[in-house]
Chains A and B, each alone.
Chain A
Amino acid sequence: MSSSPSVPRLQLSGISKRYPGCLANDRIDLSIAPGEIHALLGENGAGKSTLMKIIYGVTQPDSGEIRWQGEPLKMRDPAMARSLGVGMVFQHFSLFETLSVAENIALAMGAAAGTPKQLEPKIREVSQRYGMALEPGRLVHSLSIGERQRVEIVRCLMQDIKLLILDEPTSVLTPQEADELFVTLRRLAAEGCSILFISHKLGEVRALCQSATVLRGGKVSGHCIPAECSDLQLARLMVGDAEGLESSYPKAGGGLPRLRVDDLSWHNADPFGCTLSQIRLEVRSGEIVGIAGVAGNGQDELLALLSGETRLPRSERERISLDTQPIADLYPDARRKLGLAFVPAERLGHGAVPDMSLSDNALLTAFQQGLLSKGLIQRGKVRALADEIIQRFAVKTPDADAPARSLSGGNLQKFILGREILQNPKLLVAAHPTWGVDVGAAAAIHRALIALRDAGAAILVISEDLDELFQISDRIGALCSGKLSPLAATAETEAVEVGRWMAGEFAPLPPITSPLAAAAASLS
């Protein structure tokens, strides 16, 4: 049934798609041969997801032609794409947590494919053939993120697949899991399946893909063979000008301990949530500590406990302390008064109120910094603060009256981070500071964090982006199933080791010895 290798499996020519206010895809050409692993590179907002949706039939292009195995056609809807043999693994999984693996797959395949029970042998066979262990009877909620991704992939492989599209598949995996995924993808490609691999991680693309199409601002900025390009060349294609994208900062040693988390355990009442056990952590002034980990391993819970959104009873208030003062029982505003600043993971709705202006959003966390007088808001001062943030952190916005929702992710993040930094915090806790942010803004955010560190603040960064953590943090550890690995100096460890920690391969922590306790011990 396979067509001759000279005919591309999928060929796009001159694909354009306009949304109100932006040209998402501008005359895009793309060609994928049978058995080829092709990378689609680009920053957020470069038009990758629009193009992907067009290929999968979710949206229709305004102009341009799609050829499938040489034949021009109109991709009407995802059902048609699936029937042609196009499979898609989304970044956010579309799985049902309360159903079993087999039931999830049966739902997607239609009634004709058989009942979940009848599908089980085939699921086992496919998952074994491609080295993705899966137990069909297990409920999805009990699976790890990596296993859920396998369900999505196996679901695509259950039918006769000719083109598999993966949207940022490694963003949720440990480095080891990513390597396993690559083995599977290479085997698939060797059998003649074409793969479109969407990513912004250059190292991965170079290791896996035979060719790449780079998008920038909705246009193709270049086709290339990743193995023959340097990171800088690829980054230039993605960003345009690669200036300021320095990839290393000097590491710092840090001074006295600022934040101490001492044997923090917290039971999560949500059965699908994560319970923290015996977290021990110390962040010194003038250092950045990075916490890696795959989402859902206790990051949200730890962040809420640090920010004060979750509080411990008074009897356990010593579990978290800032400059030796116990704070685990304090409300967020009391903690902020003591010098804690917090940048949450979710920008709209948690870090900023979408419908409120930037200056009102500035007031929200900075109101204790002399912006109130006898309980009344000093509008002039608020405005001056907002303007200062916008100017110092190069936030692109018409003015401080623009609602937060009108800003792009990167700009809003710069604003939120700027708001926190200008309050001169002793301790900054930042979650996923550059998630979904373009390369230029990410570099600006990293520089701001480093400057804050060099000014003597203690910084804790929780992120899923291992590259980012290695770039900016001085010490690094990882969360897995609510447990924290030992922390190591970033300069003396490697991604592989942190990857093992992310997978839970670390010994329980030895008892912590603070300088004070050590001094006391030596005296006695």
Chain B
Amino acid sequence: MDLDLLSNIFYAMVRTGTPLLLVALGELICEKSGVLNLGQEGMMLFGAVIGFIVALSTGNLWLGVLLAMSAGMLLSMLFAAVALGFNANQVATGLALTIFGVGLSTFVGAAWVGKPLAGFEPIAIPLLSEIPLIGRMLFAQDILVYLSFALFGLVAWVLLKSRIGLIIQAVGENPDAASAMGLPVLRVRTLAVLFGGAMAGLAGGYLSLAYTPMWAENMTAGRGWIALALVVFASWRVFRVLLGAYLFGLASIIHLVAQGIGLSIPSNLLAMLPYVATILVLVLLSRDAIKTRLFAPVSLGKPWQPGH
């Protein structure tokens, strides 16, 4: 295969993996604190539609990004109020949130389907983007992809190096002990949920403002669900989330490339490839039971209230 094709594949892999990476990072923080929010798909869609409408009507892409994040956060606030404030079942609340978000985004965006928008353009960094093979992948992307690199670095640092990461992990493992130690369990969890909402909104915004600058119903195409699976199969480890997201991107591209070359495999089967490949690789990686147990938040999904 020639270098150019490979370079293009890598470039597209990162672009395709980026929305997944953004949602998954948010959900990772959320789950690490012990909260399972299944509303990712709904929050993403709502973020995507709000971001698109704002950007198109104001002409300001950055305002669109900002409000996409706020929209995701708004829905996650709803989740936090019901699941943490009223101690409702997290699974049921998250599912309801997704159904709500899908419907709401369709309703809000009905008049905006198919309108054209000039989205974020790639910014090639001089010299660096000329590096063969990986130059385009890392240094000729649009600004939101660069932002996702920075956010990945931030989340990795917080979880692995910072005191905040320790607190999140402690709250997720044993909220009773954390509370006895004086850590504000519910506040930590609420902030984690809000961060997850903002990241889902940003991922939605990336789809409608940069990846394919337009709005279409259900344009997230299940990425919110894949991100949820990604976090679990990555055994709650931040570098594996990155790996899984880009692997998914790569498999998506390969299916397009394979069609382009004209392989005689039914395209429906190829379209399954990203989902199957990503999960297969991560399952194989998470065979070490002790390591998995070390990173898994024990209290995940269990309602908790202070006071005993």
User: A63 at the A/B interface (Cβ < 8 Å)?
Assistant: no
Check B163 against A108 for contact (C-beta < 8 Å).
no
A465 in the interface, Cβ–Cβ < 8 Å? no
CA distance A272 to B294 in the complex (A): 10
Distance (Å) between the CB of B33 and the closest chain A CB? 13
B163 near A94: Cβ-Cβ < 8 Å: no
Indicate if A99 sits at the interface (CB-CB under 8 A).
Answer: yes
> How far in angstroms is the closest Cβ of chain B from A112?
11
Complex: A111 Cα to B183 Cα, angstroms: 12
A240 to B170, CA, bound (A): 44
A-B contact count (CB 8 A): 50
Judge whether B181 and A98 touch: CB under 8 Å: no
Q: Is the CB of B167 within 8 A of A107?
A: yes
Q: Which residue of B lies closest to A103 (CB)?
A: B166
Contact code string A121-147 (vs B, CB < 8 Å = 1, else 0):
000000000000000000101000000
B182 within 8 A of A: yes
Known contacts A94-B174, A97-B173, A107-B166; A271 and B180 CB within 8 A of each other: no
Interface size class of A (residues with CB under 8 A): 20 to 34
Dominant secondary structure at the A interface: loop
B167 CB → nearest A CB, Å: 7
Contact A98:B295 (CB < 8 A) given known A106-B166, A107-B181: yes
Within 8 Å of chain A (Cβ to Cβ): is B289?
Answer: yes
Q: What separation, in Å, do the CA atoms of A119 and B169 have in the docked complex?
A: 19
- B269 in the interface, Cβ–Cβ < 8 Å? no
Would you give the 0/1 interface string for B286-303, flagging 1 where the beta carbon is closer than 8 Å to chain A?
A: 000110011100100000
Determine if A78 is an interface residue (Cβ-Cβ < 8 Å).
yes
> Is A249 in the interface zone, CB < 8 Å from B?
no
Asked if B81 CB lies within 8 Å of chain A CBs, one says no
Determine if A78 and B180 form an interchain contact, defined as CB atoms under 8 angstroms apart.
Answer: yes
Query: Across the interface, do A96 and B170 meet the contact criterion of CB distance under 8 Å?
Result: yes
Cα distance A1–B149 in the bound complex, in angstroms: 53
Q: How far is the CA of A141 from the CA of B166 in the complex (A)?
A: 16
- A271/B293 contact (C-beta < 8 A), A96-B177, A106-B163, A115-B163 known: yes
- The answer for the CA separation of A77 and B294 in the assembled complex, in Å, is 32
Min CB distance A80 to B, Å, is 10
Bound CA span A139–B291, Å: 12
B178: chain A residues at CB < 8 Å are 96
For B164, the closest partner residue in chain A by CB is A111
- The one of A78, A96, A106, A272 in contact with B174, judged by C-beta atoms closer than 8 angstroms, is A96
- B170 contact from A99, A115, A139, Cβ within 8 A: A99
Within 8 A of B (CB), among A72-112: 77-79, 90, 94-99, 103, 106-108, 111
- Cα distance, A52 to B170, chains bound together (Å): 25
> In the complex, what's the smallest C-beta–C-beta distance from A60 to chain B, in angstroms?
14
Name the residue among A90, A94, A103 with the largest chain B CB count within 10 angstroms: A94
- Residues of chain A whose beta carbon lies under 8 Å from any beta carbon of chain B: 77-79, 90, 94-99, 103, 106-108, 111, 115-116, 139, 141, 269, 271-272
Given contacts A95-B177, A96-B169, A97-B174, 16 further A-B contacts (CB under 8 A): A78-B182, A94-B174, A96-B170, A98-B169, A98-B173, A98-B294, A99-B166, A99-B170, A106-B166, A107-B167, A107-B170, A115-B163, A139-B294, A271-B289, A271-B290, A272-B290
8 A/B residue pairs, CB under 8 Å, sorted by A: A78-B180, A97-B174, A98-B293, A98-B295, A99-B170, A99-B173, A116-B166, A271-B289
**Chain B residues packing against A (C-beta within 8 Å):** 163, 166-167, 169-170, 173-174, 176-178, 180-183, 289-290, 293-295, 298
